[in-house]
A and B are shown apart, each in its own frame.
Chain A
Amino acid sequence: MDLQIALLLSQDGIVNGAVYALLALALVLVFTVTRVIFIPQGEFVAYGALTMASLQAGKAPGTIWLLLAMGCLVTLVDLFFALRWGERRHILRSLLWNLFLPLGIVALVHFVPVAIMPMPMHILLTLAIVVPMGPMLYRLAFLPLAESSVLVLLVVAVAVHFVLVGLGLFLFGPEGSRTPAFTDAVFNLGLLYLTSQSLWVMICSLGLILALERFFHGNIYGKALRATAMNRTGARLLGIAPTSAGKLAFALASLIGAFSGVLVAPITTIYYDTGFLIGLKGFVGAIVGGMVNYPLAAAGAIIVGLLESFASFWASAFKEVIVFTLIIPVLLWRSLRSHHTEDQE
């Protein structure tokens, strides 16, 4: 290996690591607010990338029908509760988000010629289609079990992952997609070729991380989320609704997921089930950060990206083995630092 290859691998690793870092942040966010270990995080990446690819190909993405179906289900559930227990206060808002918004998006995709839209519109539309699925998923699968143990929530998360992967195959088929880069410029920095898409990935993910940081510390919603994360009951007593906090966390997670998908789609070919592995690598990063600490989780994810990139050079067949085995020394290190018995739920 010479310097040029090392630089190339590092660049690759950092670019992938930046995406893993975004996903790690989303995982930590969802876990701290709702105690859900959000295994399906990666499916949003795939949905985002493949929806974007469909739009650019001028096709109506299958996800709009999924969005509509999920929206109708949520509407039905909300209406049921409204009729049965008189929880009518939020019904208008629920109808707006879960019925009218999906209907509007379906109409938009059908009546406006999407193929001729500029790329930024495609990105916005992709986000509009995929992001609302996050809170809907929370409402349907997780909210009814919000008080359960982490373990039960984890099993539900795994079940949801099954559903989303299966639906992904149904909606997009087994073929992979790759989208054109945001911009085509290539920078030549001495030994290093830097594609502008790599730059986009790094800039966007850094920007998102900083925005999240600001959101959590400089904004009342962010503070409410952090409060819910620290103490659900306490937050509730102070007038923060854990349900809204949960929905907000899931919305941010699906936003981060879908946007990561849009970012990486020009770099790697995305299949309906690629998201799972990408999500899990973010997840290894999050474990390195102990699932509670944002900067550590981001750093962990970058390490995972670098490790993966160098592993693919030296032992490409064992790339995945190496990345997923990394978790074992990390867990060992964490276990050596903890010394107490606790009652599990």
Chain B
Amino acid sequence: MRAKLPLIVFVLLIALCPLFLGEFHLTLLNYIGLSAMVALGLVVLTGVGGLTSFGQAAFVGLGSYTTAYLTTAFDVSPWATLPLGLLLTGVVALGLGLITLRLSGHYLPMGTIAWGLALYYLFGNLDFLGGHTGLPGIPPMSLFGWRLSTSGQIHYLIWPLLLAAMAATQNLLNSREGRAIRALKGGSLMAESMGVNTGRSKIIVFVLAALLAGLSGWIYAHMQRFVNPTPFGLHIGIEYLFMAVVGGIGHVWGAVVGAGVITVLKQWLQDWLPKILGQSGNFEIIVFGIMMVMVLQHARSGIWPSLRRWWPLPPRHRGLDAVGQPLPQRPLPPPGSPLLSLRGVTKTFGGLVACKDIDLELRAGEILALIGPNGAGKSTLFNLISGVLPLTSGRVDFLGERIDLLEAREIAGRGLSRTFQHAHLLPSMSVLENVAIGAHLRGRKGVLAASLHLERREEGQLLGEARRQLERVGLGALADLDAGSLALGQQRIMEIARSLCAAPCLLLLDEPAAGLRHMEKQSLAELLKGLRTEGLGILLVEHDMDFVMNLADRILVMEFGEKIAEGLPEVIQNDPRVLEAYLGGVE
């Protein structure tokens, strides 16, 4: 209750303000609501997903012009144009997303600047859209025969829609799809290795942000009753981004705060600056620009986090863990059956041969250790097997199927799961949520179900599985901490829990014991032995010889990208080439 109090007060204020605010302030509040809707999309896109768009105003324009044209030219009901406008916005966003999102970081924002301008000029030059003078005479909306024409009436359309959109966004971010979206910023490689289709997640957030902009545009057209190209230009698109950044780009409420601050400030500056400077013009952009640079230099997380500090909340607890049935397990192949086979695997980087002609066999219920001096090509081999890097030549078979041409996520879907030499985790997410990313492919429910929280049963199962695996590796007590606060050794163990969440039949562990204390190493060894008994195959890179010799069934030794020995631990310990590689030759 205490946690919800500010929200309740806010909603009550919003609900009651038409009773005590005048027309001018209500209109301002409506503009804030409409801008916040667009900024909300940018929060998800930029703050959470790490992608940026300067062209959101063009999407607002698509929504606006669709309804403006259809309602004025063909007398269509505004309610019928809403799905059409959203469809058009969504299709355009999908197309642009498919083109630009696969490219590295900065192409998307550069692309958005270009098509933001292109759409703006298009609106201004199409005769049926009224050119630069615009389209007047758009009918007001009506709801059950009740016309929404005054600001006070439209207020009751905008704000409930905005609050609903915020709740849906919040729900989405706390779900399986949401974790995939949150992994886009700094965790794409890991997410792909856990089976997440990051390209799809990017498209989802991009289209989502565009749809929120389109919705805002639809209301705008019927509130203003007139559209022209000006409010859909690139500069307005940039202002939307400023709103999100100033308010707090990582937070849903940052969109509302930012929209409020910038809209009110703009109003105020437009009144005062021309008087101070003695000229007329859009001088507020000078202030906005300077403000933006200051915010990015000195307070990157925006206003919202500092506001939140006034109302401290108890640590989050999700009452969802371990609800319902455990997830179905993947049937493991019988112990002793072939799991993984490498034939002549070779990888070159320019002239450097990182792996040369590696052959390897691994059976279910077996632990194979890969050892060798630093730079021998062990981690490269891991990346080749798990599909992170393409092979130069050779082939890899997993469960009797050729996998070296597949994407990392497709390989993960076939039951191969891995950890990384340098832990790849999302520091601001809880340990539990990080681990639950491993179970991504074991859930089915999509974005819509997540936004409406209709997937709570499955979500409970996924988080329950994550908690079970955390307890199994001995980190159960740390589940609710931020993953970034774990010690390095614990981060590696957390990665093991994450890969176990995928219910794999083959585990690739890259130096799991590094950074662990003696007792922790022993319990790790016990855990891995237990997994072996269950029938998992484990391929392990490790430098701790005691750990390897006591655990591994067989050992493969690499040096300078080549396999120099393979066999039982006792044999390897006495192999002259291995001794030479590790201890230097005897002259």
Contacts and interface: CB of A to CB of B under 8 A. Distances in A.
User: Is this pair of chains taken from one and the same complex?
Assistant: yes
Interface in B41-82: 46, 50, 52, 54
B163 interface: no
Contacts of A160: 289, 293
A321 B188 contact: no
A163 B290 contact: yes
B118 A320 contact: yes
Contact of A338 (B46, B103, B284): B103
Contact of B408 (A287, A334, A341): A341
B167 interface: no
B296 A320 contact: no
Interface centre among A151, A324, A325 (most CB of B within 10 A): A324
Contact of A342 (B99, B104, B235): B104
A169 B283 contact: yes
Interface string B109-129: 111011101100110010000
Interface residues of B, number: 54
Given A159-B292, A166-B282, A343 B187 contact: yes
B238 A318 contact: no
B105 interface: yes
B50 A151 contact: yes
B543 to A, nearest CB: 25
Contacts of A161: 289
A344 interface: yes
Where chain A touches its partner, the secondary structure class is: helix
B28 interface: no
A178 to B, nearest CB: 21
B288 interface: yes
Contact of B106 (A37, A145, A334, A341): A37
A209 B282 CA distance: 36
Contacts of A328: 96, 99, 111, 114-115
B285 interface: yes
B52 A151 contact: yes
Nearest to B282: A166
A335 interface: yes
Contacts of B238: 158, 162
A187 interface: no
A288 to B, nearest CB: 11
A27 to B, nearest CB: 10
B62 to A, nearest CB: 14
Interface of B: 46, 50, 52, 54, 96, 99-100, 102-107, 109-111, 113-115, 117-118, 121-122, 125, 184-189, 192, 198, 235, 238, 241-242, 245, 277, 279, 281-286, 288-290, 292-293, 296-297, 300, 408
17 contacts: A141-B293, A158-B54, A160-B293, A162-B235, A162-B288, A166-B289, A170-B286, A173-B279, A280-B117, A287-B107, A320-B118, A325-B115, A325-B118, A335-B99, A335-B102, A341-B198, A341-B408
Interface of A: 37, 39, 140-141, 144-145, 148-152, 154-156, 158-167, 169-170, 173-174, 280, 283-284, 287, 291, 317-318, 320-321, 324-325, 327-328, 331-332, 334-335, 338, 341-345
